[in-house]
Structure 1
């Protein structure tokens, strides 16, 4: 099969559902509620349809997902300042203690493949609510663990249950947002996922310095309990417009679990996300998102303490302050990503006389690649030139620039992938999360060897080359093919 035919299956030109066939009552309702019938997707006339919910209610649901995505990476990376203490307490070396973080990343990268089919059939609210409560209990247990095995068990199980929320981001946005809002709304949970990685060590460094390791776990538990309470007041977003959902009876009904007759359960659903690899646009997006996340986020967060503590002789609290650079960069990147890409798409659609071409969004993505490359070069060169014992802000400026670029790429490329298969938004987001997490999990195993053999400047050059080769170039190729297909 040719690339162009594959691209055509990916919907280079996004088809807006035709509103000409709707009834007068439906038309009147949409005009009163939304002020337009030119909406993608086209809502029903049912007020219970999530697309018809009030804006505040939609934002509440998406914000909960963003907070959950933030907490997932916050809890995984938040153990970083405690590695040395836990290694001593459990009688293991430092790299072995670091597996507490790696194990969580791997688990919540894979387990969504299990959760999403269940959530699509039986509803999301129950799984998200129970997942938050389970994580709360497990983190309390982590505070009292006395052996390496006990602690590893709690970390793996936390990864299992926190993966319910990491699996739901793109699905919930797809349930609640129209196509012209996807860039901004996907940016909320994308920013949460990215910023949680530096945010965890930034906060827990202070906790480790002043209260000890146990209170890191108790802080995680408090966060999860708050999420649990907030999820109680949330609503179910799974809704099928063609066929009304049937709410289960008995115990399942009491638990808030519903079964959709329009979305019957099938074992094939577990492999649905992996089928997205056949879509050229989506595969390009997944590779780009994974490479940039690994080299403009994971490498900065994971290697920061191992590099800067011995180089500048920092304690846990001082080390936590270094993560401010990545946090600031990520926030700036999001400001330049979601809203900007949505504005650009509106402008591009107007230029094309109302024709919405999804590859137009990729123009914003190139800004991200440039920032990632510039940031990594600045970070690597100034670390290489740094004088031991004399702290310098210059490498952190590079880290902030790279973080901003990473967030631009993550938000824009994720939205582009979802635009390529809007009716498979859940599967697309799951596929991206799966590959990105696994690739990020592998990185820490070779990062130390890379820095030892190539030094920081040489390693930065290598990572920039990988970004250009496996992210920028394929994105440009997909862009060119997509534009030519439209013409």
Structure 2
């Protein structure tokens, strides 16, 4: 390959010049006679690999058709055995869940908190809104540190300091003190919820990424309904302050598990063996990994994705769907169900079973079927489909979310003072829809900018949490002013106007926006 071609590849351009009778070209050239960049890069990598490197890869993976191509080094996460990758992913995904889990942990206990601290129920709900906001902004601080010093030390610091913050919440004598301790906990618990996308991209090849990205995203989603489901019992049986003690104990167990089972996934790929042993590099190498100097720009760089439509528009689409299909329902259940049905914390917690089930069902479409969707398209057209093809699944998610929100609000209004299960059926539909959109959007954005997967995750989390923070301040007012049925119309209009329209635009222009790095 000529140097000029390599230069073009590095800048995300297609280049001509490959013979049409080459076996790897069959069915892959587009209508302009250009070959997809991913194919040329893959061929160039294989052609420049040493025989020892090829033998190592074949022994490890049984094929050279890998994207990306791993180093000849056991410490490269792509070369880890599957059990090790999956164990680490479970730890990171659970850690990510603990962010939203911590935010939602007191949702079933708004009433006892308001009585204990002498504030209104709506003001008690601000203890959740505060955490939502910080979880969105704090990853901007953690991402560059995790890139320079590694994921492992950041995760360990995160858990120790979160433990301290939760103990402070348990001992807080006033609303202000509890708000401060909740803020401290939120600041430290959030890294895995944003840079978990980078961990997935660092460990799993492209053809399996949606499946494992789905595990991480579904855990983030499940944190919202699972916390009030569990802690509704805790608040009712032993008092809401035990919520914080349990969170602190959970952080301690996580820390211990990370020490033994959470290796470092940040790896500087060089194409050669490293002098440091793989075991030491994964578990005991706490020195700086990336020597690049830290700059102020590094802390705000993820926000630059606002200029990249293939990330910004899907982030907006996801945030609006998450706002109505997840945040609104989980925030309003503790308030509406106390007003309408006079439920206690335990009864309110039980309502979240429907959201948990809906999220798990939705992940089967958003994760596993998403990969199959792409593979079947590739077989049908005999070449790799564009990344935008994955987004077709998101429309099913939008429809489910809209239907679920409408059913939840309308059926809650119709129930009067007599509880029935119909609103919860709507909540399950909405949760399934949100999860389909979550996995689809995250996987699409990371596919477009895999090298910047950490920044992509931080940016999407930022957009989602900003909307999630604002929502609880105006949800009660709009529901009270125009009523629940009319509010479902507002939700439908906002999801269609933001989520659906944004996705249509990305599917229409996404290929040109991101540099045409794949073919239809």
CA RMSD in angstroms, aligned pairs only:
2.2
- In structure 1, runs of 5+ residues without a counterpart are 1-7, 248-252
**Counterpart-to-counterpart distance in 1, 2:352 and 2:391:** 29
Cross-structure match for 1:4: none
> How far did residue 279 of structure 1 move?
1.4
Give yes or no for the alignment of 1:352 onto 2:375. no
2:178 to 143, 147, 151: 151
Give yes or no for the alignment of 1:123 onto 2:150. yes
Contact 2:152 2:263 (8 Å CA) reproduced: yes
2:107 to 68, 71, 80: 80
Contact 1:329 1:403 (8 Å CA) reproduced: yes
1:94 to 107, 121, 135: 121
**Counterpart-to-counterpart distance in 2, 1:92 and 1:431:** 34
Change (3 A) 1:458 1:41: same
**Counterpart-to-counterpart distance in 2, 1:336 and 1:320:** 26
1:424 to 446, 452, 473: 452
How many equivalent residue pairs? Answer: 474
- In our comparison, the structure showing a higher alpha carbon Rg is 2
1:164 to 184, 187, 191: 191
> How far did residue 401 of structure 1 move?
0.3
Cross-structure match for 1:458: 486
Cross-structure match for 1:24: 51
Give yes or no for the alignment of 1:306 onto 2:329. no
List per-residue Cα deviations over 1:316-364 (Å, max 9, x = no partner).
1111111111111011011111110011111112223232410111111
> How far did residue 211 of structure 1 move?
0.7
> How far did residue 403 of structure 1 move?
0.5
Cross-structure match for 1:402: 430
Contact 1:77 1:198 (8 Å CA) reproduced: yes
TM-score (norm 1): 0.93
Give yes or no for the alignment of 1:106 onto 2:128. no
Cross-structure match for 1:375: 404
TM-score (norm 2): 0.87
**Counterpart-to-counterpart distance in 1, 2:160 and 2:486:** 45
Secondary structure in 1 aligned to 2:72?
Answer: coil
Mean Cα deviation higher: 135-144 or 283-292: 135-144
> How far did residue 441 of structure 1 move?
0.3
Contact 2:96 2:191 (8 Å CA) reproduced: no
Secondary structure in 1 aligned to 2:415?
Answer: coil
- In structure 2, runs of 5+ residues without a counterpart are 1-10, 15-29, 31-35, 277-281
**Counterpart-to-counterpart distance in 1, 2:436 and 2:232:** 27
Contact 2:147 2:290 (8 Å CA) reproduced: no
Give yes or no for the alignment of 1:392 onto 2:420. yes
Secondary structure in 1 aligned to 2:268?
Answer: coil
Secondary structure in 2 aligned to 1:334?
Answer: helix
> How far did residue 50 of structure 1 move?
0.7
> How far did residue 258 of structure 1 move?
2.2
> How far did residue 92 of structure 1 move?
2.0
